[in-house]
């Protein structure tokens, strides 16, 4: 996922299905911002499997050379579909940033406040013109990769349940309750509201008419003289 933060707005530019193509996109968006002297920082996320693709290295190198205002966030969830981390990576992904001339930080991805602190510092650094930051957030993929993925073929239920106890949402909920900022009643109400929103959105999508065949050309070609 690539996007940028600025002018009190967050703009999601692309959700990328091909692996890692969003990393060069992010570097390009950040380059455009720097050339146009626009005040925003680009943020891009990807999995640890993506960190082994050429697009990752090319995007990071380009961003480092030109000191671009971009934050690279590697969501290291331990599995690239069925391939475990130890068969993908030797060493820390965060350490790769040194080769591109900017900082790399490894952080506990289940710690909401620490992730906020590190990302905030990376944004401030980029906004000052000091270039990119690579954040490697250590997490775990609790669910199968997809509905067709039988994850029990390459990991155990015990491993999944052990990591489920480290779920960042549960940990943050417990922290807020300890601070007196949240309660079980509030949490139950939130869950109900979220469930209702999802059900309403699903119903809306199910009842929506199919698009016209010619709609496949929308947003593909420029239209009008002012484009």
Told to judge if 145 belongs to the known catalytic residues of this protein, a careful annotator would answer: yes
Between CA 55 and CA 24 the distance in angstroms is 6
What token pair was written down for 214?
Answer: 């010619």
Catalytic residue among 25, 123, 125, 141: 141
Q: Of 115, 99, 121, nearest to 51 (Cα)?
A: 99
Name the helix (H) or strand (E) containing 65: helix 54-65
Between CA 150 and CA 144 the distance in angstroms is 7
Told to judge if 154 belongs to the known catalytic residues of this protein, a careful annotator would answer: yes
Q: Are 46 and 23 in contact (CB under 8 A)?
A: yes
| Number of residues that make up the chain | 227
Catalytic residue among 57, 66, 145, 155: 145
Cα 76 to the chain's mean position, in Å?
Answer: 10
Catalytic residue among 11, 116, 154, 188: 154
Told to judge if 155 belongs to the known catalytic residues of this protein, a careful annotator would answer: no
What is the 3 state secondary structure string of 151-184?
HHHCCCHHHHHHHHCCCHHHHHHHHHHHCCCCCH
Q: Report, as residue numbers or ranges, the catalytic residues.
A: 141, 145, 154
């Amino acid at each position: 996922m690539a996007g940028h933060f600025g002018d009190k707005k967050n703009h999601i530019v692309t959700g990328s299905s091909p692996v890692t193509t969003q990393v060069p996109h992010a570097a390009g968006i950040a380059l455009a911002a720097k050339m146009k002297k626009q005040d925003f920082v680009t943020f891009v996320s990807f999995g640890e499997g993506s960190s082994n693709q050429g697009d990752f290295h090319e995007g990071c190198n380009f961003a480092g050379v030109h000191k671009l205002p971009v934050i690279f966030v590697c969501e290291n969830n331990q599995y690239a579909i069925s391939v475990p981390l130890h068969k993908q990576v030797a060493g820390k992904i965060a350490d790769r940033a040194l080769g591109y001339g900017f900082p790399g930080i490894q952080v506990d991805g289940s710690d909401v406040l620490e992730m906020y602190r590190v990302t905030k510092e990376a944004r401030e650094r980029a906004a000052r013109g000091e270039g990119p930051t690579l954040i490697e957030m250590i997490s775990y993929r609790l669910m199968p990769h997809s509905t067709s993925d039988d994850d029990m073929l390459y990991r155990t239920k015990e491993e999944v349940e052990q990591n489920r106890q480290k779920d960042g949402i549960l940990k943050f909920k417990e922290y807020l309750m300890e601070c007196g900022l949240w309660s079980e009643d509030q949490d139950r109400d939130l869950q109900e509201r979220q469930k209702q929103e999802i059900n309403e959105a699903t119903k809306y999508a199910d009842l929506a008419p199919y698009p016209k065949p010619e709609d496949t050309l929308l947003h593909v070609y420029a239209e009008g003289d002012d484009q």
